[in-house]
């Protein structure tokens, strides 16, 4: 059975999303208010309210006050999507055509994300094959005829296309991404900008990559933390072309894109807000200082809610610093593979940011699919999968027992819901740690095989003995654990 073409995969994903939007509006309305898929900084209902209050603020000061207290979306986003996500007027709701346009937009955003992942997977496979052929060129050029080299190249290209299609299909079929899309939160838009930035970086456009990611930071502040590995990836791609000065030009282009995206976007918002800086605290400040304690699937809200007020500032500092501390170590550790550093940081943000949703996990696992060679080295894939399935059922159940119709029986409280969010975070952390272990193990095995091929004679024997010692040491550690 042949792998379906890209257009069929993308069309199927878009049609599935549109069908639920059209034929199950009650489901999408329910998902838009669920804490698993919507937060105060990403909620579709909050975005609609922001559009309405922005229009009303021109006439009444109370609307402006209300907007400053409860709306955490970037004014740039509100201005961009205002006509589409708002109401036609203050009395009647959106028409069917208006609702269909909203559904088409969110379906298109997810489809665009899958397309970007497809391009990233294809570019990564080609880069790996190019490096491998360069290393083996001197050893095999005389042993293999030209026709065999061409056939190997064709087979490799076909395999790369097939896996890239699977990556796109897995992203579109991921239940977390489906729920995030149907809830119409701004998380799919943030994920799309992140993946488009990654696609531009791996295809050699350093300026556009940081420009797009910095625009994504206006929607959700955390993508800015992925700038270092993104710049490193753009530099690696420039160096791979073997042209003098390309790496330096890529660095300058990336910095320019960052300045234009952040600076230009900030200036545009400043103008939209009447040359006021109050929006900074309302948008980015709410993410950093957790000003809205609405329950979500993160680990911050309950901790800060139960904390004494005079300890609040200290622990907010600790929580924010904790997220920041991963950026430099991951970028340095995985400097030879910045795409993996980018993926690992996506996993960190899915667990430790202040307002996470299931869409963040969907983005992380979509990026993890770019590394098929690591799956065989993962130690606990079954446990990680079962934890995510377990949480997918118990997160809404415990929330309903606490705040939903089940709360009338008195059979649930905040501790129930927070406990399952901790289990959910444990599953994400276990998956990330397992993936990092698999990356190190795969690299070690690859270098050992290369050493055995190149060392010959005594060198090969020495490497084999060293490998046996390493395996024995690993077994000893596992037994002790």
| pLDDT at res. 135 | 58
| pLDDT at res. 88 | 46
Angle at 296 between CA 424 and CA 431, to 5 degrees: 25
Which residues of the chain fall below pLDDT 70? 1-3, 57-69, 86-94, 133-153, 241-245, 406-411, 453-481
366-383 in b/e form (b: 16+ CB < 10 A) is bbbbbbeebeebbeeeee
Q: What HEC string does the chain produce? A: CCCCCHHHHHHHHHHHHHHHHHHCHHHHHHHCCCCCCCCCCCCHHHHHHHHHHHHHCCCCHHHHHHHHHHCCCCHHHHHHHHHHHCCCCCCCCCCHHHHHHHHHHHHHHHHHHHHHHHHHHHHHHHHHHHHHHHHHHHHHCCCCCHHHHHHHHHHHHHHHHHHHHHHHHHHHHCHHHHHHHHCCCCHHHHHHHHHHHHHHHHCCCHHHHHHHHHHHHHHCCHHHHHHHHHHHHHHHHHHCCCCCCHHHHHHHHHHHHHHHHHHHHHHHHHHHCCCCCHHHHHCHHHHHHCCCCCCCCCCHHHHHHHCCHHHHHHHHHHHHHHHHCCHHHHHHHCCCCHHHHHHHHHHHHHHHCCCCCHHHHHHHHHHHCCCHHHHHHCCCHHHHHHHHHHHHHHHHHHHHHHHCHHHHHCCCCHHHHHHHHHHHHHHHHHHHHHHHHHHHHHHHHHHHHHHHHHHCHHHHHHHHHHHHHHHHHHHHHHHHC
- Terminal-to-terminal C-alpha distance of the chain: 44
- Alpha-carbon distance 318 to 326, whole Å? 13
Nearest to 153 by CA among 123, 135, 126: 126
135-153 in b/e form (b: 16+ CB < 10 A) is eeeeeeeeeeeeeeeeeee
Q: What does the chain come to in residues?
A: 481
Can you read off the two tokens belonging to residue 60? Answer: 């009444």
| pLDDT at res. 68 | 58
Q: Is residue 234 a contact partner of residue 341, using CB atoms and an 8 Å limit?
A: no
Across the chain, mean pLDDT equals 85
- Alpha-carbon distance 274 to 346, whole Å? 35
For residue 234, give every residue at least 6 positions away whose Cβ sits within 8 Å of its Cβ, in sequence order, or none.
201, 204, 205, 206, 209, 210, 250, 251, 253, 254
Residue whose entry in the numeric block shows the structure tokens 């994903």 = 13
Taking the alpha carbons of 199, 202, 205, 211 in that order, is the dihedral positive or negative?
positive
| pLDDT at res. 48 | 86
| pLDDT at res. 49 | 85
| pLDDT at res. 58 | 60
Can you read off the two tokens belonging to residue 421? Answer: 């969010």
Q: How many CB atoms lie within 10 A of CB 1?
A: 3
- Alpha-carbon distance 96 to 405, whole Å? 30
Nearest to 50 by CA among 81, 24, 89, 96: 81
Give the gyration radius of the chain's Cα atoms: 24
- Alpha-carbon distance 29 to 99, whole Å? 12
- Alpha-carbon distance 31 to 24, whole Å? 11
pTM as predicted? 0.89
Taking the alpha carbons of 50, 55, 61, 63 in that order, is the dihedral positive or negative?
negative
| pLDDT at res. 476 | 44
| pLDDT at res. 87 | 54
**Surface-to-core class of residue 183, CB atoms within 10 Å of its CB (0-12 exposed, 13-18 middle, 19+ buried):** buried
| pLDDT at res. 196 | 97
- Alpha-carbon distance 306 to 296, whole Å? 15
- Alpha-carbon distance 167 to 165, whole Å? 5
pLDDT digits (tens, 9 = 90+) for 304-361: 988 888 899 999 999 999 999 999 999 999 999 999 999 999 999 999 999 999 999 9
Can you read off the two tokens belonging to residue 454? Answer: 């190149």
For residue 171, give every residue at least 6 positions away whose Cβ sits within 8 Å of its Cβ, in sequence order, or none.
113, 114, 117, 177, 362, 366, 369
Can you read off the two tokens belonging to residue 260? Answer: 């234009």
Q: Is residue 181 a contact partner of residue 106, using CB atoms and an 8 Å limit?
A: yes
């Amino acid at each position: 059975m042949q792998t379906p073409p890209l257009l069929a995969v993308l069309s199927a994903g878009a049609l599935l999303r549109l069908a639920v939007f059209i034929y199950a509006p009650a489901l999408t309305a329910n998902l838009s208010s669920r804490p698993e898929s919507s937060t105060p900084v990403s909620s579709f209902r909050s975005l609609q309210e922001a559009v309405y209050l922005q229009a009303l603020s021109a006439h009444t000061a109370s609307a402006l006050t209300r907007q400053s207290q409860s709306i955490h979306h970037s004014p740039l986003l509100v201005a961009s999507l205002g006509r589409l996500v708002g109401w036609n007027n203050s009395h009647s709701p959106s028409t069917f055509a208006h609702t269909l346009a909203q559904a088409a937009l969110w379906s298109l955003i997810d489809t665009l994300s899958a397309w970007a992942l497809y391009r990233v997977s294809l570019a990564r496979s080609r880069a790996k094959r190019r490096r491998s052929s360069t290393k083996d060129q001197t050893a095999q050029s005389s042993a293999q005829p030209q026709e065999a080299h061409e056939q190997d190249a064709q087979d490799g290209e076909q395999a790369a296309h097939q896996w890239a299609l699977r990556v796109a299909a897995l992203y579109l079929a991921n239940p977390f991404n489906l729920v995030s899309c149907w809830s119409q939160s701004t998380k799919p838009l943030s994920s799309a900008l992140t993946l488009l930035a990654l696609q531009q970086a791996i295809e050699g456009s350093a300026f556009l990559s940081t420009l797009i990611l910095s625009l994504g930071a206006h929607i959700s502040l955390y993508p800015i933390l992925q700038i270092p590995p993104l710049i490193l990836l753009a530099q690696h791609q420039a160096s791979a072309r073997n042209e003098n000065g390309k790496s330096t030009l890529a660095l300058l282009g990336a910095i320019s894109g960052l300045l234009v995206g952040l600076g230009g976007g900030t200036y545009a918002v400043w103008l939209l807000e009447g040359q006021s800086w109050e929006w900074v605290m309302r948008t980015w400040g709410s993410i950093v200082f957790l000003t809205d304690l609405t329950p979500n699937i993160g680990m911050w809200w309950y901790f800060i809610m139960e904390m004494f007020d005079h300890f609040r500032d200290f622990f907010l500092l600790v929580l924010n610093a904790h997220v920041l501390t991963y950026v430099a170590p991951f970028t340095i550790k995985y400097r030879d593979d910045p795409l993996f550093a980018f993926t690992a940081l996506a996993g960190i943000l899915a667990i430790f940011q202040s307002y996470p949703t299931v869409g963040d996990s969907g983005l992380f696992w979509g990026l993890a699919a770019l590394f098929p060679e690591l799956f065989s080295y993962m130690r606990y894939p079954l446990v990680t999968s079962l934890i995510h399935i377990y949480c997918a059922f118990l997160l809404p159940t415990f929330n309903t027992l606490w705040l939903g119709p089940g709360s009338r029986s008195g059979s649930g409280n905040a501790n129930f819901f927070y406990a399952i969010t901790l289990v959910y975070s444990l599953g994400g952390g276990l998956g990330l740690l397992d993936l990092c272990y698999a990356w190190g193990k795969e690299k070690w095995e690859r270098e050992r095989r290369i050493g055995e091929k190149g060392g010959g004679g005594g060198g090969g024997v020495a490497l084999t003995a060293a490998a046996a010692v390493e395996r024995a040491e690993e077994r000893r550690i596992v037994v002790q654990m």
